[in-house]
Each structure stands twice: as structure tokens, then as C-alpha cells.
Amino acid sequence: MKRTIANVLTEIAAIAGMAMLSACAIGPEYVRPDATMATMAANWKTEPGWQVSAPRDGDIKGEWWEIFDDVELNTLEAQALSFGQNLRVAQARVEQARAQANVANAGFFPRLGVQAGETRNRTSADRPKASYNTPVSSVTQNDFNASFVLSYELDFFGKIRAQSNAATSNAGQVNADFENARLIVTAELAADYFALRELDAEIDLIGKTLAAQQRGLDFLSARYELGASSVLDLKQQKSRIAATQTQAVQLQDQRAKYSNAIATLIGTPPPSFTVKQSAKMPAVPDVPLFAPSQLLERRPDIGSAERAMAAANAQIGVAKSAFFPSVALNAQYGSDANQWAQLFTAPSILWAVGLSVSQTLFDAGRTRANVAFNEAGYQLTVANYRQAVLVAMQEVQDGLNSTANLQQIMISANTAAANSAEFFNLTDDRYKAGIATRLELVLAEETMLNNQRIVVQQTGQQLLNSVRLIKALGGGWHNPAL
């Protein structure tokens, strides 16, 4: 029975369909590691009697910095997310990974192209004869051709599927890396901002301390002129003023550096950026906690490490596919004629359909070595994943320990500040009653300001530790799919 092109194409389509249905996975099946991994604790270790309350609805949302209720911080974070160059770099990598995944997924579909050409050629009259009974002459003629070309690699052994899985997992990894970059940038910005606000409060107190020390110097100078004070007292007070002035300059220098760092994070040239000075510091929030196992869902770096394992596992399948033959379907349909007017006539029609199979017989162990390389690469990603989980738990536990310790330190600092304030008030009453001297009042005020400065420093440390703890908990990122 005569076979038509329709019959052939129908058979090829059937073969291709069966190939897609029967494609087998040649790599190992990916199994996500045990969530506990024998290292995940049942709960966090906290100080006896110390509990963390759950503000709002007990969860950290995407814009986690809003928990600090600072309008200016919220504005800076929005600018960093919109104009920060580090995030633009990470976003570009996400777009690249998505494009690579699309390239890999395109392998599931055939490639259809068109080709056309025009050639004018002259054959040689002295060319070798095909038959000694046929004379050879020179011929000059045209050749016009146009055709559609179809090529399709049949995924009998799962090579294309493995490539697609690897590319998709890699896209997921890069996306998690973007979320991690976002978390790092926003946390660094918040830390720099709170450090700057701490310095503002310290600079304010340093100014008050300098004013008190200057009043003490004026008092000692007057007593010195009357012969009631020694030159040693005068020199000592001047030395204290100079030391405090040095601290004031150092604080201003540190503030400028933090301001420049914030400008860089939000994509603004530091010379044209300023943060208005304010001695007001935000309140330290209560950071909500959750089970240690939830770190696997909330830490983007852990999500990235897990996707890296999936991609490495798929690469094993890609490497193993080299042991099996590559089967491709090729088809062509078009026209070929020596005159343009005859190009699309029935006699000029041509077509071809065929299958091609290629198989490597000997490669000196290259394929086997490539499989071993990718298997070792998978073990590397497993170790990286487990290390990421351990580091995450360490960072959270460090943050919890620091929170408890800083709370105890703050209690002592507030007690010292309150007692020194009461002592200053009593000394002021005694000075007004003529019992205490002006110098005693100045010294009491200086002690009070120094203790207040310690409170400011500890408040700054608590704010920074809150940022670190939120970052260790994964910020507001939450993706159960990873």
C-alpha cells in the first residue's frame, strides 16, 4: 500500500507521543532531607521565667521593620527596596534564572524553522563522469528553494526532564537568594539607622555634660581667683572637659559614617544625603517566636540551600543521560526549482521525515566521571543545607540569649540612672538651701547624665539585637513551598 506523507507524519506523531508518555527518570528521585535532621531542637532555650510576648497577630510580616513603629525608618526602607543597587543586582539574577528555566522547558517542544535560498551555479565540463556512456557538459542554472524544517528530540530517557528540573530548582534558589539579599539590606539599614539614633541621643547628652562641666569650670575658676581652690582642681576640670569634647567629635564622626552607609543602601550619593538629628529613640519591640522547625520555611538562605540540593540532584540525572542514546525526529517540507515561477508548483514539492539515533560507545570514562562529579556535588549541597540550618539555630539562640542578658543589664542601668537622678534632685535642694556647693551640684548632674548615657547605649544595643533576632528568624519571608 502506498504511504503518503500524512501516514508518515501520523506515525511519527504517535511515536513522539509514546516517547513523552514513556520517558523515564534516569536520575535519583529527589527526597527533601528530614526537617529535624537530628539537630532541630524541640524549642528554644530561654532564661527561666522569661517569655516573649506575641505582638499584633504573633507573626512577622513582610515589612518587618514596621514593628519598630518609626516613620522615618519605614521611609528609608521603602527607598532601599526601590533604589538600592544591591537589590537590583539580585533582581537581575532572578530574571536570568527564570530565562534559563524557560530555555530548559522549551526542550519539551519541537523546533520549527524556515529556510530559503537562491543559487546560480555552473557545473564543470571536466568533472568526473558518472557513466562513460554519457557525455559530460557544462550547465549553468538557477536553484530556488524554500522549506519548513522540524526538529524534535524525543525524551525517552528523561534527559530533558532532568534539565528542566535542574533549571527550575535553580530559579527557585536564585529567587530565595533575592529574598535573602532583601533581608540583609533591610536589616543592615535598620541596624545603621538605630546606631545613628543612639549616637544622636548620646550627642545630646554629651552636649548637656559639656555644659555641666563648663559650669563646674566656671565655679572652680572663681574659687581659684579667690584662693579657695588649687590649680590642680582647675587643671583636672579642664582635662575632663577636653576628654568630653574628644568624645563629642568621635560621636559626630561615627554618625557621619552611619549616615553615609544609609545613603549608599538607599541608592543616594552620600554628599547629598542627611538624616535630621533627633535624640528620640524608638521603643524596643517584643519579637514573636515560633518553633525551631519553622526556620526551614522562614529563612530564605535555608530555602536557597534546599533548592540547591534539588538542582544538584537533577544534575545527576542529566549526567546519567549520557549513558543512553539520543533520539531525534527530523522533518522537512518545501519546494526546490530552477525557476522562481515553478517554486511552489506540484512537481517542485519535496519532503523528508526521519529519525536519528546517536550513542557514544567509548569515552574513556568521561561520562562515569561526570556522574561521580555531580553525585559529589549533591553531597556538597546536602552538607551546605545542614550547615545553614545549624547556623540559623545558632543565630536565633544567640539573639535570645542576648535579649535576656540585655534586659538584665537594662534593669541595672535604669536603676543607676534613677538613683543618680534622685541624688541630683537632693543635691539641688541642698544647694538651694545653702548646704551643698555649686561644684557638688555640677558633679551630681554629670553623674546623672553619664548614667543616662549608659541607658541610651543599652537601648541602642537592644534595638540592634532585635534587628539581628528578626533577621535570624528570617524576617517577613515565608514560603512553605520551599
Minimum mean pLDDT among 25-29, 70-74, 318-322, 416-420: which range?
Answer: 25-29
d(CA 314, CA 27): 7
Cell numbers found for residue 17:
507521543
Q: Residue 34: what are its φ and ψ, rounded to 5°?
A: -55, 135
d(CA 300, CA 391): 13
Q: Does pLDDT of 1 surpass 60? A: no
> How much is the pLDDT for 23?
52
Q: Does pLDDT of 218 surpass 70? A: yes
Cell numbers found for residue 59:
507573626
In percent, the amount of the chain with pLDDT more than 70 equals 89
Please state the pTM of the whole predicted model: 0.82
Q: How confident is the model at residue 481 (pLDDT cuts 50, 70, 90)?
A: low
- The stretch 86-92 carries a mean pLDDT of 88
> How much is the pLDDT for 8?
44
For residue 108, which of 63, 154, 58 has the smallest C-alpha distance? 154
Terminal alpha carbon distance of the chain: 57
> How much is the pLDDT for 293?
78
Q: How confident is the model at residue 220 (pLDDT cuts 50, 70, 90)?
A: confident
Q: Does pLDDT of 441 surpass 50? A: yes
The DSSP code for 356 is E
Cell numbers found for residue 288:
514573636
DSSP per-residue letters across 93-153: HHHHHHHHHHHHHGGGS-EEEEEEEEEEEE--TTSPPS-TTS-----EEEEEEEEEEEEEE
> How much is the pLDDT for 200?
95
- 3-class secondary structure, 331: strand
In percent, the amount of the chain with pLDDT more than 90 equals 50
- The stretch 337-360 carries a mean pLDDT of 88
Cβ neighbours for 281, distance < 8 A, ≥ 6 positions apart: 194, 197, 198, 201, 456, 459, 460, 463
> How much is the pLDDT for 134?
80
Cell numbers found for residue 387:
550547615
Q: How confident is the model at residue 313 (pLDDT cuts 50, 70, 90)?
A: very high
d(CA 15, CA 328): 11
Minimum mean pLDDT among 6-10, 57-61, 321-325: which range?
Answer: 6-10
* CA 398 and chain centroid, separation: 22
Region of residue 114 (left: phi > 0; alpha: psi -120 to 50; beta: else): beta
More confident residue, 168 or 2: 168
- The stretch 244-251 carries a mean pLDDT of 94
For residue 117, which of 151, 143, 141, 148 has the smallest C-alpha distance? 143
> How much is the pLDDT for 133?
79
287-305 pLDDT, tens digit per residue, is 888 778 788 888 899 999 9
> How much is the pLDDT for 266?
93
Cβ neighbours for 400, distance < 8 A, ≥ 6 positions apart: 44, 45, 46, 289, 469
Task: Kindly report the average pLDDT of the chain as a whole number.
Answer: 86
Cell numbers found for residue 123:
557545473
DSSP per-residue letters across 64-97: GGGGG--HHHHHHHHHHHHH-HHHHHHHHHHHHH
**CATH numbers and ranges of domains, the chain:** 25-121+140-472 (1.20.1600.10)
- Cβ-contact 155, 327 below 8 angstroms: no
- Cβ-contact 285, 136 below 8 angstroms: no
> How much is the pLDDT for 335?
92
Q: Which residues of 357-393 are buried (b: 16+ CB within 10 A; e: fewer)?
A: eeeeeeeeeeeeebbeebbebbeebbebbeebbeebb
Q: Does pLDDT of 49 surpass 70? A: no
Q: Does pLDDT of 276 surpass 50? A: yes
Between helix 159-225 and helix 300-320 the angle, nearest 10°, is 150
- Cβ-contact 241, 214 below 8 angstroms: yes
Handedness of CA 84, 86, 92, 97 (dihedral sign): negative
Region of residue 403 (left: phi > 0; alpha: psi -120 to 50; beta: else): alpha
101-147 pLDDT, tens digit per residue, is 888 888 888 899 999 999 989 888 888 877 777 888 888 888 889 99
364-400 pLDDT, tens digit per residue, is 999 999 999 999 999 999 999 999 999 999 999 999 9
- 3-class secondary structure, 332: strand
